[in-house]
């Protein structure tokens, strides 16, 4: 089974050895430098349990060339083609003593440049001057997310757990998910590996129990154009030809 066939069937795939140790060190170095210089900005969120940079590639644009190494560009091109672009990016750092956890959910919203009334665009929110909205399902169905792991990730330090094939059930509330007979998987990765997932896949994260750090770069992609009145807030075109 090909990677894209597995992704479409299971809702996620894991690919290790995408980034070398040197590339991971470069990514961490750039992030740490920017974290020191820009820590007061609203897009940089820090607590005892989590450090996050929202609008990550807007805040740290110089990191993009390292992220889009030849291996990742090949994965995107072979599985999705050449018409996808970045729509959203977040950096997560779950510290060694983190008690932060996330319950099962789907990624139902996209980041856009403003709030306007449009048919089938619902559940508007605003966070740190960024507008989010739930678009029509046909947009979410074509989108995908790549999660780049800067540390070895296991279920003990908060690896995502997912409900296999749950993306095929469409949009639904977590309390309406019937777990009888469902397969739950922990998405454990080596440092430098990536997880690719569909936004409608139900996923969650447990508390850290082994005192090991977990750092992840989360990037969302689409090839869908929004209505002309609306724009993707973090749109970044890719050069993967």
Give per-residue pLDDT as tens, 53-70. Answer: 999 999 999 999 999 999
The model's pLDDT over 71-115, given as tens digits with 9 standing for 90+, comes to 999 999 999 999 999 999 999 988 877 777 889 999 999 999 999
For the ranges 119-133, 166-180, 186-200, the maximum mean pLDDT occurs at 186-200
**Number of helical (H) and strand (E) elements in the chain, helices listed first:** 6, 15
Q: Rounded to 5 degrees, what are φ and ψ at 4?
A: -70, -35
> Domain coordinates of the chain in residue numbers?
3-237
Distance between CA atoms of residues 61 and 19, nearest Å: 18
- Predicted confidence at residue 135, as pLDDT, reads 97
- Predicted confidence at residue 176, as pLDDT, reads 66
Report the b/e string of 18-35 with b at 16+ CB within 10 A. bbeeebbebbeeebeebb
Mean pLDDT of 172-197: 87
Lowest model confidence (mean pLDDT) among 43-52, 126-135, 189-198: 43-52
The model's pLDDT over 201-221, given as tens digits with 9 standing for 90+, comes to 999 999 888 888 899 999 999
Distance between CA atoms of residues 210 and 151, nearest Å: 13
The CATH fold of domain 3-237: Jelly Rolls (2.60.120)
Mean pLDDT of 113-132: 91
The token pair that represents 3 in the structure block? 């990677």
DSSP alpha helix (H) spans, the chain? 3-10, 21-37, 56-59, 64-67, 70-80, 137-142
* CA-closest candidate to residue 91, choices 4, 213, 219: 219
């Amino acid at each position: 089974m090909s990677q894209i066939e597995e992704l479409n069937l299971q809702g996620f795939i894991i690919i290790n050895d995408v980034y070398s140790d040197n590339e991971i060190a470069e990514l961490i170095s750039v992030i740490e430098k920017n974290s020191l210089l820009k820590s007061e900005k609203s897009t940089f969120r820090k607590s005892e349990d989590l450090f996050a940079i929202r609008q990550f590639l807007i805040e740290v644009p110089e990191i993009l060339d390292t992220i889009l190494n030849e291996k990742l560009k090949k994965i995107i091109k072979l599985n999705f083609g050449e018409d996808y672009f970045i729509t959203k990016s977040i950096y997560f750092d779950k510290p060694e003593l983190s008690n932060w956890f996330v319950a099962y959910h789907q990624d139902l919203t996209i980041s856009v440049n403003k709030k306007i009334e449009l048919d089938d665009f619902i559940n508007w929110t605003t966070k740190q001057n960024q507008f989010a909205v739930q678009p029509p399902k046909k947009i979410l169905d074509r989108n995908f997310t790549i999660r780049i792991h800067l540390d070895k990730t296991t279920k003990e330090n908060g690896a995502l757990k997912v409900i296999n094939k749950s993306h095929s059930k469409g949009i639904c509330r977590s309390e309406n998910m019937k777990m009888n007979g469902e397969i739950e998987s922990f998405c454990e990765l080596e440092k430098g590996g990536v997880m690719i997932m569909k936004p409608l896949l139900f996923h969650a994260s447990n508390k850290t129990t082994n005192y090991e750090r977990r750092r992840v770069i989360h990037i969302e992609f689409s090839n869908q154009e929004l209505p002309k009145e609306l724009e993707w807030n973090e749109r970044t075109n890719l050069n993967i030809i």
